[in-house]
Structure 1
Amino acid sequence: MIHVNRSILSALAIIGLVTTSGVNAQPRTDLILGMSVEPSGLDPTAAAPVAIAQVVWQNLFEGLVTINKEGEVEPSLAESWSISEDGLTYTFDLRDNVTFQNNKAFTADTAKYTLDKILKSDSINPQKALYTPIKSISAPDPDTLVITLSSPSADLLYWLGFPAAVMIEPSSEQNNATHPIGTGPFLFSNWKKGNQVTLSKYDNYWGEKPKLDKVTFRFISDPQAQAAALSSGGVDAIPQFQAPELTSQFQSDNKFETVIGTTSMEVIAGINNNRKPFNDPRVRQALMMATDRQAIIDATNEGFGTPIGSHFSPSDAGYEDLTNVWPYDPVKAKALLAEAGYPNGFTFTMKMPTLAYAERAAEIMQAYYAMIGVTMKLESSEFPAKWVQDVFKDTNYDMSIVGHAEPMDISIYARHPYYFNYQSTDFDASIAATANTTNEADRLLGYKKSQAILAQDVPALFLYAYPKIGIWKKGLHGMWENLPVPSNDITDAFWSE
């Protein structure tokens, strides 16, 4: 008979349990994600707030195409497409066996219904203007959708990837704001108003199944409370952290990963190009050289942000870094002012919207312009009401700072009228030529040319791309670094062991 000490057996049993639990430990399949703003509804085709898309775009609703994390167009519910030589006819081959989360089939008729709804005279779609080139839509068979345009639009595919163009199931339309039904990998579970929205995995999803079973979007408006929620474990991730001044505490904490990227919002100082002395490009160029972009970023966002030299964000495909066209050089700036006829400078007024980043930037710029003999007076303008009326509508201003949040909106400089009062036949021609292209490579080349024209002309002072500060627990993967589209796409998110 072999006698074994009971304490040894107990110890071995404990070791066995520990070893077994370690071997069988499984990665988490849930995620709690923090957001600053609670959406007003959950249907991105019926209302504008970006918070809607931050919950449902790509997670629950999908479009014919999508925009990936690099800002490029990719297939989604349409697996391929062709474009006619004249750029007026787009033929989409739709995926087979796609169902909505109420088990209704997605077909060309569904897609036609969705797009027709955007174009109706009584449409409340927040981006309806983007789709006005569409002349007609037909569904010759269940797997084929044909879109005919009245004029070429190289950006059509890009706009079709927007949240405003996601596919909807007709019978669910009336309830999508509160109980959305889409084709995506996650379906709506519940909404605790004032607190959170929960999505769960859709088992019949047509594509690759997500690794997460459940995602909860918690709404925390106060930046201090966001930081506290991260520290306490109340949330796992905040993809768009709103407190740059609190970021360093997470950068130095090895329990978190802090990822600094860019958004599609360009912060610029718009100039009224009709007014003297700004009708002289040399004056605008001189002010650009007198502006230390990095100093503004340091003052407004604790150093987070990317200097830009044209109206394009690094998060957009086709971006060119043109900050070297008119780099910070106050000596050359003063000389160029003298060449333009202002050796002793001049005086103008900066009409500041009541936005913290704009007010901080204006104060910095005022100091820099004084160094070259230019006096910039500061005038506060209540945002949005008074600012929109005075600056945007009446163009009663000299200069004003604001962030342009719409992705890929460089064509605003070809709008006439528009609040910049900028006139350039070269730029207008470049934008028009880009619109006529029928392939992605030519489209991006066209935008690079347009960026270069703006960088040279300086119809606005191009300051920086607004930062995307992402903070999440170590072990979480698949989160986006940059933000080409306002969203929180978590379809590729997963936890490592």
Structure 2
Amino acid sequence: MSSSHEPSPTLGRTASNRPSPARRPLASVTKAVAVGAAALLLSSCAVANSDGASGGGGGGGAASALRVVLQQEPPTLEPCEANLTSTGVVVRSNITEPLIERNPTTGDLDPLLATEWEQTSDNEWSFTLRDDVTFQDGTPFDAEAAAFSIDRAVNSDLGCNVEGYVFGESDLEVTAVDATTLTVTTPEPDPILPLKLSFIEIVPTSTSTTDKVREPIGTGPYQIDQWEVGTKLTLGAYDGYWGDAPAYPSVEYQWRGEGTVRAAMITGGEADIAMGLSPDDGIGENGVSYPNNETIALRFSGDIAPLDDIRVRQAINFAIDKDGIISSLYPNGDVVASQLIPEGVVGHNDSLEPWEFDLEQAKALVAEAKADGVPVDTKITLVTRTAQFPKVNELSQVLQEQLSQAGLNVELRMVDTTQHLQYQLRPFVTNEGPIALLVQHGNQAGDAQFTVDQYMSSTGAQSTFGTPEFDQKLDDAAKTSGDERQTAYEQIFADQNEEIVQFAHIAHQTGLLGIASGITYEPNSASGDELRIAEVKPAA
């Protein structure tokens, strides 16, 4: 997908069955490569879980239970939190489904629960819905359920992550015209509303509007059978699914924090798919790389000294040896980042250069700020999430060391997913001093608006910065389309790097799955966030 491609928000095609996304050829992965800079790395040793998992396709037999091993247990399966990787990898398009589904390979919008859509005025869109779908509790899917789901996720007081990630403070007016016709009215013209709605998972009207649910009911090919907290999660195929029946009658999710353990479960026949691997985990020929669109960066709290001084934030950018980090920790496809979105996302600025590594310049900026009275000795807490991606522990320690070498007082704090969200999302932790948060941002939508609205606006769900002038640039860009949209967002990323410096970008990542020999699955850029089990088949 080129950097000028924009997913089409126009009419979708009619679908009699669930569309199959276009495929990208598998990329072979060589065996683990010895990694240099040993002083920067931590080694780990582990053995595979010896508990024999039942079923599975690893041996090439008849399809029974598909066994998936994750980095961590999902904190929840609440549908309006499905854009969180640890939740979405299980729930999205497996348990619940959206009206429209974005093809992660082509960027096109495919019909799902909605068969077609059109913009009927500047501020209104009309959607035609399927009439042959039921929820897993037997109730029919209709326009009332669609309107309810949008209202619950966007207009309620639940504080859904998808609201901040996709819609911000904008409410939507949703109307069920009849059983199969839905209209959505936006407060301002929105040329990519169908793309935004692809992030809202549809639930029945019986779903709570006062509390988030842990185990949802949806329209997807699988329903929750049993969740043994701390041990495993089992899904069973939904017999009443409107589309093609999936190949596997059940899915069993387990979770292991060590990548070497997850890899050993594949090579030892205890799992069929392992998520979030590194080439160093020993996956060998069972490793399959894919074009992940995740970007890792440090995000700074901009209202607490010394991070409220732009010179200190610039110094951190100069202090990080991004090339060294990639060559020693992520040498198999990651590239140095200059912005929060990778090439292929609308708005990516090809002309931006990454900050160069210049430790002396970093030290000089810190010294200059100190001379002006900035308390550069104040402790900065570097907050990172355990098991967020491969070698995150090693990376965190490298970042702590490199920032300390620039003359800053940095303390590392590793936290779990629930704790990390308290730093990541509003309302932010405000009583622990200045925070440098390691974030992993994936723009699955393929459009820069989903990045800048949450990370760069004054009220963004994940933004600690913003000015009225910059907010206006974001608002203006959101109303554009085509080449004008591309140019507007290119300028926004340039202005962020020059005028605001809320981030220290590190790398655009490449993903690696472990896939057993008895399994056929071709990963794509969304696989790390939404592993669509219906696309997994037994090997022929």
TM-score by length of 2: 0.68
Match of 2:177 among 118, 135, 140: 140
The match for 1:232 is: 268
Cα 1:287–1:72, aligned 2, differ >3 Å: closer, same or farther?
farther
The equivalent residue for 1:454 is 496
What is the one-letter code of the residue matched to 1:53? G
Distance in 2, matches of 1:46 and 1:290, equals 35
Task: Give the distance between the partners of 2:183 and 2:360, measured in 1 at CA.
Answer: 58
Give the C-alpha shift of residue 183 in structure 1.
1.9
Instruction: Provide, for residues 226-258 of structure 1, a one-character-per-residue CA deviation record: whole Å limited to 9, x for no partner.
Output: 2332222110111223xx4742x21xx33x133
Identity over the aligned pairs, expressed in percent? Answer: 21
CA contact (8 A) 1:134 1:148 kept: no
Structure 2 residue corresponding to 1:324, chosen from 327, 350, 353? 353
After TM superposition, give the deviation of residue 103 of structure 1 in Å. Answer: 4.3
- The structural deviation recorded for 1:65 is 1.7
Which of 424, 432, 448 does residue 475 from structure 2 map onto? 432
CA deviation vs aligned residue, 1:258-309 (integer Å, no higher than 9, x gap) = 315435453215263785797456x755653443213234566677744211
Per the alignment, residue 472 of structure 1 pairs with 515
Matches for 1:76-475 after TM superposition, within 5 Å? 76-86=112-122, 88-118=123-153, 121=156, 123=158, 125-129=160-164, 130-131=166-167, 132-153=169-190, 156-162=193-199, 165-171=200-206, 180-202=216-238, 204-241=240-277, 244=278, 246-247=280-281, 249-250=282-283, 253-254=284-285, 256-259=286-289, 261-262=291-292, 264=294, 266-270=296-300, 272=302, 279=309, 284-285=313-314, 287-297=316-326, 305-313=334-342, 318-320=347-349, 324-328=353-357, 350-353=380-383, 355=385, 361=395, 364-365=398-399, 374-380=406-412, 383=415, 384=419, 388=423, 392-394=428-430, 400-405=436-441, 407=443, 408-411=450-453, 412-415=455-458, 422-423=465-466, 427-437=470-480, 439=481, 443=485, 445-457=487-499, 458-465=501-508, 468-474=511-517
Shift of 1:417: 9.1
Q: Distance in 1 between matches of 2:224 and 2:307?
A: 56
Q: CA deviation at 1:78?
A: 1.5
Counterpart CA distance in 2 for 1:90 and 1:288 is: 43
Q: Deviations over 1:411-456 (max 9, x none)?
A: 322215999764556643331112223x577555543332232233
8 Å Cα contact 1:133/1:152 also seen in 2: no
Between stretches 310-319 and 448-457, larger displacement belongs to 310-319
Query: Match of 2:71?
Result: 36
Unaligned runs of 5+ in 1: 1-24
CA RMSD, aligned part only?
A: 4.6
SS at match of 2:494: helix
Change in Cα spacing, 1:397 to 1:64, as seen in structure 2 (3 Å) is same
Question: Take 1:359 and 1:34, find their aligned partners in 2: how far apart are those partners?
Answer: 20
**Cα gap change, 1:321/1:286 in structure 2, threshold over 3 Å: closer, same or farther?**
farther
> CA, structure 1 residues 74+198, in 2 after alignment: closer, same or farther (shift >3 Å)?
same
Taking the aligned partners of 2:437 and 2:75, their CA distance within structure 1 comes to 28
What is the alpha-carbon distance in structure 2 between the residues aligned to residue 295 and residue 362 of structure 1? 14
2:56 alignment counterpart: none
- Structure 1 counterpart of 2:337, which letter? I
Q: 1:489 is matched by which residue type in structure 2?
A: R
Report the alpha carbon displacement of residue 166 of structure 1 after superposing the two structures with TM.
1.2
TM superposition shift of 1:34: 1.1
Q: Which letter does structure 1 place at the counterpart of 2:496?
A: L
Question: Alpha-carbon deviation of 1:378?
Answer: 2.2
* d(CA) in 2 for partners of 1:47, 1:81: 23
CA distance, structure 1, for counterparts of residue 233 and residue 367 of structure 2: 59
Give the match for residue 20 of structure 1.
none
Match of 2:29 in 1: none
Does the residue aligned with 2:534 lie in a helix, a strand or coil? Answer: coil
In terms of fraction of residues, the more helix-rich structure is 1
Counterpart of 1:449, as a letter, is Q
Listed one character per residue, the Cα deviations across residues 80-116 of structure 1 (whole Å, up to 9, x for unaligned) are 2223553x21211223423334443322122122223
- Give 1 or 2 for the bigger CA radius of gyration: 1
Change (3 A) 1:369 1:225: closer
Question: Residues of 1 paired with 2:435 and 2:214: CA distance?
Answer: 42
Partner in structure 2 of residue 68 of structure 1:
103
Paired residues of 1:201 and 1:210 also in contact (CA < 8 A): yes
The total of aligned residue pairs comes to 458
The whole-number CA distance in structure 2 between the counterparts of 1:275 and 1:221 is 35
3-state SS of the aligned residue for 2:145?
Answer: helix
Match of 2:30 in 1: none
| Offset from partner CA, 1:99-151 (integer Å, 9 cap, x none) | 33444332212212222333565546443445542342111122210111223
SS in 2 for 1:451: helix
Mapped contact 1:476–1:494 kept (Cα < 8 A):
yes
| Aligned equivalents of 2:300, 2:67: Cα separation in 1 | 39
Cα distance, 1:62 vs. partner?
0.6
CA distance in 1, matches of 2:243, 2:440: 34
State the secondary structure of the residue aligned to 1:409.
helix
Q: Which residue of 2 aligns with 1:22?
A: none
Instruction: Please give the alpha-carbon distance, in whole angstroms, between the structure 2 residues aligned to 1:280 and 1:39.
Output: 37
**Structure 1 counterpart of 2:520, one-letter code:** H
Q: 1:257 to 1:321 in 2, by over 3 A?
A: farther
- Relative distance call for 1:455 and 1:155 in structure 2 (3 A) is farther
TM-score (norm. length: structure 1): 0.73
With 265-274 and 28-37 compared, the bigger mean Cα shift is at: 265-274
